[in-house]
Amino acid sequence: MLTRALIHLDRFIQNYNTVKARLGQTRICVPVKADGYGHGALQIAKTSLEIGAFCVGVASVSEGEELRNAGISAPILLFSQPHPDEIPNLLEAKLIPFISDEEFASVINKQAEDKKMILQVHVKIDTGMSRLGCRPEEALSLAKFITSCSGLSLTGTATHLAVSDSANEQDVAFTKSQLASFKEAVDVIKKAGIDPGIVHVANSGAVILHPESWLDMIRPGILLYGYKTVNEADAPPNHKLLLSGFTPINVQPVMELRSAITMIKHIKKGETVSYGRTWTAPQDTYVAILATGYADGLPRLSSNKWQVSIDGNNYPIVGRICMDQCCVDLGPKPALNRWKEAVVFGGAAGNAGELAAVTGTIPYEITCNINKRVPRIYDGNNG
C-alpha cells in the first residue's frame, strides 16, 4: 500500500470532547457529508455516536442511505435540497430534511401520507446566507403549514451563518444580526403556540466566537476534523467579553496523507523535471518519485510550493505534480532508500490548513478532495 490516509480517531475524539466541554448540555450534530469531509463518513458517524453525538448530518439522500444501509439508526439531518425523485428514498431512510418552502413541504407530505408515515422535518430560515431557507418573516407561515400536514412533524428549526468564522468587526456584527433575526423568528413561532423543536444555528466559527449561538444544538464541521478557521484572540474588543469565561479551543488535525518513494533518479544540473519543465536542477541532485498526485488529492497548484517529510526532514516537491505521481528533490547526497515512507501532509509535514494556504483554498477542500482510491486507515493510537 503506497498512498494512504491515516485517520487519527483518537484526535477526532479529543476534538469532540474539547468542543463538548465548552458547550455543557448542548447537543452536537456531527456533519459527515462529503464522506466525512474526506475522513470516511461511516467510521466518523459510528465514532461520533459512540461518544455521545445526538445526530449526524449529510448533504444528499444517497449519503444518508449509505449510513442507514450500514446500520446507523440515529437521526440523520439532510442539509441540502433533494430532488422530488429522491423523496421515496428519503422516506425509506427516514432522513430529516430541512424545509425552505411550502411547495416542497406539500410534495413530501403527500408521499409521506401515501406511505402512512410521519416524517420529521426542520424549518430552515434564511437570515443572511441567501441560499436555502425561507425569509424570517415567512417562518411562522411555513411552520403553520408544516404542522397542518398529517405526514410531517416539525422537530427542529435552523439557520446557517455566513461569516461566523471571521473576527472582522463588520462580520461579527453581521453574525449578531443573523442571530437576532433568527431568534426573533423562533420567538414568533413559539408565541403562536407552535413548538419549533430543536433550535440550532452554530457552525464551527460560531462555536469558537459566538456562544450566544449555541442554543439547543450545534453543527461543527471542520473544527471536529482539526482546523480552526478563526481564533478567539482575534475577536473585536467589545466582543471578547462574551468569550472571557471560556478557555480557547485547541484541536488537532485528524487526517494525515502518506505515500512512498517508488524510484530515485540522478538528475544532472540544468535538466528539467516533469510536465511543462517548470523546474530546472540548479546542481547535480537526486529526485525521488512519490506515488501520489492530484488524482489522489494533492493539489496541482502546490507544485514547486510544498514540502514533504521523509525521516523527519523536509524535501521540496519539484516540477509539476502529475495525476498519479510527484517528484521530490532529495539533494546531491541523499541518505534515503527506495520505498521509504513520505508524509505528504499532516504529522511531520505541514497540515492540510497550511497546504490550503499555499494553494489559496481552505482545509475543507484539501481533505474532501482526497480521492476514494486512497484507502483510509483508522488508528486510534498512532500519535
Residues identified as active-site: 33, 275
HSE-up of residue 358 (Cα within 13 Å, Cβ side): 19
Return the C-alpha cell found at 242: 462574551
Helix axis angle, 41-50 relative to 61-69, nearest 10°?
Answer: 60
d(CA 288, CA 292) in angstroms, rounded, equals: 12
Cβ within 8 Å of residue 187, ≥6 positions away? none
Q: Which secondary-structure segment (H or E) carries 285?
A: strand 285-290
Cβ within 8 Å of residue 261, ≥6 positions away? 288, 289, 290, 310, 328, 336, 337, 338, 339, 340, 342
d(CA 241, CA 362) in angstroms, rounded, equals: 29
- Which stretches within 115-232 are classed as H helix? 139-148, 169-191, 204-209
Question: What number of helices (H) and strands (E) belong to the chain?
Answer: 12, 18
